[in-house]
Structure 1
């Protein structure tokens, strides 16, 4: 790989196990994701104990797969990164402890990653031409928030959910209506078939002149 700086990233904050090999902080050489939807479907939501056990079962295989796909070995790595927050405690520990083991064994730096910040910086991967400042909308899992990203490490929270995250609202509505899990794709498909052009739903933006807060509890129970 010449003089490229190679790193491996590990993620297990909720119900997906993910691994990626990145060159020079931007070029993705390989990546793999294991989804647990089939494990949690009957419960209409993520069961923390099931999630953490599933991460343990697959993370080593994903690491091996990514190394092989990128045509490198552990010795080629310059650093390892892993999600340390926020997320389910048991799930977070899987990627973090795996990363600590790699860091200790290879004597390379361990970078702890706040996974919401990682979502905001994702557009920089693969050389996409985004610049600072920019507005980022996070709608990941149990999070719904609006940020102004001024620079690396310089984030301004513009608004947050005051109750449910949008993903939670989708899943709970789908459960109420016995539509299945996850709720988002199912409700989106049904909505595309709707004949009512202007459905009447509560506003999701809170009334405030100072923040851009969201509220989905009213929409969920409407």
Structure 2
């Protein structure tokens, strides 16, 4: 079956980006994303506004994806969509559209786990990109998730560590909010961290059992630190912003790498892949690359456009499930807390 041309339309609507992609087998023909800038004014994603924007964006985004791929909807073999996890209202828009479109075309419907998609994005066919061999360790890091997953095959995955409270992206954004940075703050902290001293200020790393993570304590420690310093010097944040950002990033990257080192040691796996929006962070990428020298790792870092929420990653899972004949029924429902 893999030798014939299989066209998959993929739809992603788990949070605040409406995305559609068309794949021919494991190759991307188009990957269109409509961002929602409205949330910046609120310092975070407003679920009700997100779902309304998805309703406005989904038809033009799908239309654009088909046009860019230069194929007609009649050529599609299946429609893949994000079933979860994510914001329920946002997921419902993508799920409803995918079900209706697949039904109207009389083609299979394929439900996709958003977190599996971040991991399987590594199997999109890209020139000069080396795909990880099984088994490998995947660290998914985003605004909503922080997990370490042992991946034995495309659909045999085991979560061996995860956050017990805030996700790493949340830690970046909330720390940035304390410093008066806009939303999302992660990219701004990353940019400023390059200009600062990562050891200017020390923040205690939380002690968490096993391979799990915790970021709420660090966030509180940063809050108290800022409050104390501003009390003594009202201009403290302004005067030391780059150093504070560098110190926060250094601490967060250290927490992630400590757990990854432990996971690699425990499992004996040295192939390490990352995914999710926070994997675009330069500090994390550098730490992963240095792990190749220090620990003999082979690291796998996806292209930037496959790290943030996108439909191409949904499409590659759709294609792999299509090959197995693993289709969803029309009564399939969105699931905000879907597990791997």
Normalising by structure 2, we get a TM-score of: 0.61
Gaps of 5+ in 1: none
Matched, 1:214 2:216: no
Counterpart position of 1:190: 192
Which secondary structure state, in structure 1, belongs to the residue aligned with residue 124 of structure 2? Answer: helix
Q: What aligned pairs does 1:45-194 form with structure 2 within 5 A after superposition?
A: 45-126=44-125, 128-194=130-196
2:8–2:76 Cα contact (<8 Å) kept: yes
Higher relative contact order (CA 8 A, sep 6+): 2
Per mean C-alpha deviation after superposition, the further-off stretch among 51-60 and 121-130 is 121-130
Secondary structure in 1 matching 2:164: coil
1:17: which partner in 2? Answer: 18
Post-superposition offset of 1:141: 2.2
Identify the range of structure 1 (161-170 vs 184-193) with the bigger mean alpha-carbon deviation. 184-193
Unpaired stretches in structure 2, ≥5 consecutive residues: 222-340
Deviations 1:127-164 (A, max 9, x none): 54322111101112210111010112211111000111
SS at match of 1:156: strand
Distance in 2 between residues matched to 1:34 and 1:83, nearest whole Å: 16
The structure where strand makes up a greater share of residues is 1
Bigger-Rg structure (1/2): 2
What per-residue deviation string (whole Å, max 9, x for no partner) do you get for residues 156-205 of structure 1?
1110001110111111112222211101011112222223535312225x
1 CA distance for matches of 2:191 and 2:154?
Answer: 37
How many equivalent pairs are there? 216
Tell me how far apart the structure 1 counterparts of residues 115 and 30 of structure 2 sit (CA, whole Å).
22
The Cα of 1:28 is off from its aligned counterpart by 0.4
Deviant stretches of 4+, over 3 Å? 195-199
TM-score of the aligned structures, taking structure 1 as reference length: 0.92
Q: 2:208·2:214 contact (CA, 8 Å) conserved in 1?
A: no
Q: CA RMSD in A?
A: 1.5
3-state DSSP of counterpart to 2:125: helix
More helix by percentage: 2
